[in-house]
Amino acid sequence: MSKSLNMKNILIVLICSLFLANCSNRYVLGTKCTSPDKATGAYEKSFIWSVDRTMNDASFGKRISKENCPKVVKKS
């Protein structure tokens, strides 16, 4: 009985998390990076981006895009 109760609670928490996350944001998948800082060259890279629903695609694309990711040079 204890196992089924734990599984039920886990399932409820997961479903509620999905509903709450879906109400507030939209998610963009794919490796994307922020534009590098001019002083330090630091940037953020992620595969999953949580984007506010009020932000349109054009402004998101200016700040965060695949083109901002540094190119990796493979050594042969």
The span from the CA of 66 to the CA of 71, in Å, is: 10
Flag whether 60 is in a domain: yes
The span from the CA of 59 to the CA of 27, in Å, is: 15
- What's residue 14's pLDDT? 86
Q: Which two tokens stand for residue 2?
A: 């204890």
Q: Which two tokens stand for residue 17?
A: 């998390």
Domain that holds residue 35: 25-69
User: Cβ-count burial of 32 within 10 angstroms (0-12 exposed, 13-18 middle, 19+ buried)?
Assistant: buried
Flag whether 4 is in a domain: no
Judged against a pLDDT cut of 80, whether residue 25 lies above it is answered with no
Flag whether 44 is in a domain: yes
Q: Can you list the positions of beta strands (E) in 1-76?
A: 25-34, 45-52, 64-65
Total domains in the fold of the chain:
1
Encode pLDDT of 36-59 as tens digits: 888 998 899 998 888 887 888 888
